């Protein structure tokens, strides 16, 4: 067992689970989506991205790309949240909330891809 691999897998999976946890619920209901969870998802995603730095394999490059996509979408969701709440007078209307969650949903897809790639890599090594 390799500790580095455990940490790597842990963060990639955690990024997916947190992301999923945030997205699940009625899409336009602010009560179903905790800001803390989005915050945690962003942090864990950033950490997962940095962990993927410097991989020179083809699969490593795609993993990094998927992570960058997830970061981008999650940060966009957070910015949208902040702007709606503080930047303008709009507030968390169902429409804004739906946008935030759908952005995070996009990130979820990227995270799913990451995990699939991780599984493929693992399977290939063990064969």
Per rule CB under 8 A, is residue 86 in the interface with other proteins?
A: yes
Per rule CB under 8 A, is residue 47 in the interface with other proteins?
A: yes
Q: What is 37-76 written as a DSSP string?
A: HHHHHHHHHHHHHHHTTT--SHHHHHHHHHHHHHHHHHHH
Q: Residue 117's closest CA among 67, 70, 72? A: 67
User: Which residue from 1, 2, 54, 126 is in contact with other proteins, where contact means CB under 8 A?
Assistant: 54
Range in contact with other proteins (rule: CB under 8 A) among 15-23, 80-88, 99-107, 116-124: 80-88
Number of chain residues interacting with other proteins (CB under 8 A): 15
Per rule CB under 8 A, is residue 78 in the interface with other proteins?
A: yes
Per rule CB under 8 A, is residue 85 in the interface with other proteins?
A: yes
CA Rg, the chain, in Å?
A: 16
Per rule CB under 8 A, is residue 51 in the interface with other proteins?
A: yes
Per rule CB under 8 A, is residue 2 in the interface with other proteins?
A: no
**Which residue carries 């490059």 as its tokens?**
61
User: Which residue from 5, 26, 29, 50 is in contact with other proteins, where contact means CB under 8 A?
Assistant: 50
- Gap between the terminal Cα atoms of the chain: 16
């Amino acid at each position: 067992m390799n500790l580095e691999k455990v940490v790597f897998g842990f963060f990639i999976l955690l990024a997916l689970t947190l992301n999923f946890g945030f997205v699940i619920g009625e899409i336009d209901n602010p009560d179903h989506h905790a800001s803390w969870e989005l915050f945690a998802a962003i942090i864990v995603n950033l950490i997962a991205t940095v962990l993927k730095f410097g991989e020179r394999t083809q699969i490593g490059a795609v993993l990094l790309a998927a992570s960058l996509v997830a970061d981008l979408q999650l940060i966009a969701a957070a910015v949208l949240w902040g702007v709606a709440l503080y930047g303008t007078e709009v507030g968390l209307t169902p429409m804004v909330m739906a946008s935030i969650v759908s952005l995070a949903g996009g990130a979820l897809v990227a995270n799913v891809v990451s995990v699939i790639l991780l599984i493929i890599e693992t399977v290939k090594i063990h064969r």
